[in-house]
Amino acid sequence: MQNTEIQISEIFYSIQGEGLLAGRASVFIRLAGCPLRCNYCDTKYALDARAGTKMSIDEIMKKVMKHSPKYAVITGGEPMISPHISLLCEKMKENNIHITIETAGIKFVSGLACDLMSISPKTSNACDGQQDKDKYLKIDQLKGLVGNYDYQLKFVIEKIEDVAEVHQIVDYLKDIDRSKVLLMPQAGDVSEYIKKSPLIVELCKANGFVFSPRLQLVFGETRPAE
């Protein structure tokens, strides 16, 4: 078990940029590999399952604990497809770390020691023009995740029409707490983020959703050299 290895794209210490825990200093553990190819993906370097380096759980924990973190974010890629996600969560819990998993919501795994399942369901702005569009939104998997974990639903919004899809997904999932539904602007850089944010603010006001910042765009690259 000690020799279990996971393909890691990167590990770094920064602040959480998005969602209900934005601003918290956190260690980010980015797992390599994702079956999707979203149009706006900003971590393309982590999509290949062979990206980065193979690391044992012990090696990962050594890097994580260097920062004595209160919060950790397991992200990707798509971390829920890793066969070792459960063990990684267990090891972090042994050190009393609050765990957020960032996922597209395409795979439900039960029994994880996860404190916040941070789910970004994909609307058509992620997969227009892509093949196998039905891979991007799996309502049954989403139902499993919101029914079994504390969650937040983060939607990337490109245009006003996207909100109709957000309502549709939230309605499918049933009994969703609107204070856990967050909208954030689709933006590749800070100028686009500033330009699009007022529209997202108005959409949140009109629909009872929550505005999520994207602080990583504001502050730019915050990953320290190891």
The yes or no reply on residue 104 touching ligand SF4 (CB under 6 A) is yes
Identify the CA nearest to 102 among candidates 175, 179, 220, 21.
21
The yes or no reply on residue 38 touching ligand SF4 (CB under 6 A) is yes
Q: Which is nearer to ligand SF4, 91 or 154 (CB)?
A: 154
The yes or no reply on residue 158 touching ligand SF4 (CB under 6 A) is no
Would you give the distance in Å from CA 195 to the centre of its chain?
23
Residue from 41, 87, 176, 210 binding ligand SF4 (CB under 6 A): 41
Residue from 5, 22, 24, 43 binding ligand SF4 (CB under 6 A): 43
The yes or no reply on residue 135 touching ligand SF4 (CB under 6 A) is no
Residue from 4, 5, 15, 36 binding ligand SF4 (CB under 6 A): 36
CA terminus-to-terminus distance, the chain: 27
Q: Which is nearer to ligand SF4, 44 or 62 (CB)?
A: 44
- Mention every residue, 6+ apart, whose C-beta is less than 8 A from residue 70: 24, 25, 97, 98
CA dihedral 7, 11, 15, 16 (to 10 degrees): 0
At 68, is the secondary structure helix, strand, or coil?
A: coil
Q: Which residues pair with 25 in a beta bridge?
A: 15
Q: Which phi and psi (to 5°) does residue 213 adopt?
A: -70, 170
CB of 41 to ligand SF4, least distance (A): 3
Stretch binding ligand SF4 (CB under 6 A), from 37-45, 87-95, 183-191, 208-216: 37-45
Size of the site for ligand SF4 (CB under 6 A): 11
The yes or no reply on residue 105 touching ligand SF4 (CB under 6 A) is no
Please tell me the distance from the alpha carbon of residue 17 to that of residue 75, in angstroms, as a whole number: 13
Chain residues in the site for ligand SF4 (CB under 6 A): 34, 36-38, 41, 43, 47, 76-78, 104
